[in-house]
């Protein structure tokens, strides 16, 4: 079985996606989780382009890593930490 460049790149991106998803789930600070989620969206954009779906890629880039990240960051910046007993 020969690996073409496409196979290598898509495998690399797939493994990276799983790793970043794990980091997003496992990070201690919420803001880090949001940033990892944004990075995940950005890598998904690359995956969509590789799979020849540029329309989906544009939408994912705008909604996934733009608006949703901004919404999460705004929310995190406006909530206040409450002391736990």
Partner 1 sequence: MKNILGLFVALLLGVFIILALDTSASFPEFGDIDLTERVSDEYLDGNNIDDVGSANIVTAIVVGYRGFDTLGEVTVLFISALGVALVFGGVPNKQNRLDLKFKPNFMLKTGSKIIFGFILVTSLYIIFHGHLSPGGGFPGGAMIASAILLLYLSDDKFRSNVKGFKLLEGIAGSLFVIIGLLGLVFATYFLQNFLPAGTVGEILSAGIIPIIYVLIGLKVGSEISGIVDNFLTEGESV
Interaction site with partner 1 (CB under 8 A): 26, 51, 54-55, 57-59, 61-63, 66-67, 70-71, 74, 77-78, 80
Nearer to partner 1, 80 or 82 (CB): 80
Q: Identify the sign of the CA torsion 69, 21, 23, 52.
A: negative
Least distance to partner 1 from the beta carbon of 69, Å? 10
Least distance to partner 1 from the beta carbon of 84, Å? 19
- DSSP class per residue in 24-42: HHH-SSHHHHHHHHHHHHH
């Amino acid at each position: 079985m020969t690996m073409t460049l496409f196979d290598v790149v898509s495998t690399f991106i797939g493994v990276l996606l799983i790793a970043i998803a794990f980091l997003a789930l496992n990070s201690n600070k919420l803001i880090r989780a949001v940033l990892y989620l944004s990075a995940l969206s950005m890598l998904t954009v690359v995956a969509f382009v590789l799979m020849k779906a540029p329309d989906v890629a544009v939408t994912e880039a705008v909604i996934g890593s733009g608006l949703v990240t901004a919404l999460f960051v705004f929310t995190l910046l406006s909530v206040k930490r409450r002391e736990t007993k």
